[in-house]
Structure 1
């Protein structure tokens, strides 16, 4: 179990490094419930002003199903306690499996008035990214005992295999002529 408060982590900057890619676009997303106009489209539209709003009993579920087994090493969730107050999740369970009937809890995260991106590292017992067909994000409780929840964005990251960044890691240049071309502008 880990405790998070949100912050300056930015998954888009992480993607620009070339070490990870956002794989949420390769998945089928579904929700346990939502108010009309506050569903998956708003959760995935890259706009921090829109959000998913659940409509029902806890736990509230976000189901992310991949067509093939996919490596996942981070989940980013954008929340804003200052705007959403009692709608803000306070405890989240991350589950993984092949389908709905074999999901195993892999992480529980307590959120303390989070504002911004909450980064949740996803690792197996050997400290490597998990390989899964399905991820479920379950909102177990909200701040101030709120009933429904707001999540503004979710991004799912997969490591890019076999690429080494920055360039220096792949080998040092030994001559002055090669060193001149070691940076891309």
Structure 2
């Protein structure tokens, strides 16, 4: 069985049950090695929305094991951008008629960093518009501090090309 056959079989299995959350986690675990390597998990899938998370791990930071002043090292901004981009694109799948057969490609990504991320990351994407060939999502990435406070660390917007029934 080829990877394409395995992917198609998984789409059929999850599609039968309408389990988009299960399919997204399967897609991350089995076909997106980088997302799996950074520990990405699916927290929520709903109409026009998606929440993904990545746990804090020193391998994802700018300075290991600690920043020069002894505080916990910040997660690299590329991890937040990846989570933002992925959540935005996957959220679009919830708004199209056949999410299991579509393909989504990023055509523009805007990320504004607000503060350092020093803990677990959570990205929540909301679809602004899912047109016939282009979709737009707005995404907020939050991080927990070592003392348990949650705050926004990045916000952004992604534009994506939608290939329906790819």
Name the TM-score, length of structure 1 as normaliser: 0.28
Name the TM-score, length of structure 2 as normaliser: 0.31
Greater length-normalized contact order (CA 8 Å, ≥ 6 residues apart): 1
- Structure number with bigger Rg: 1
* Greater helix content: 2
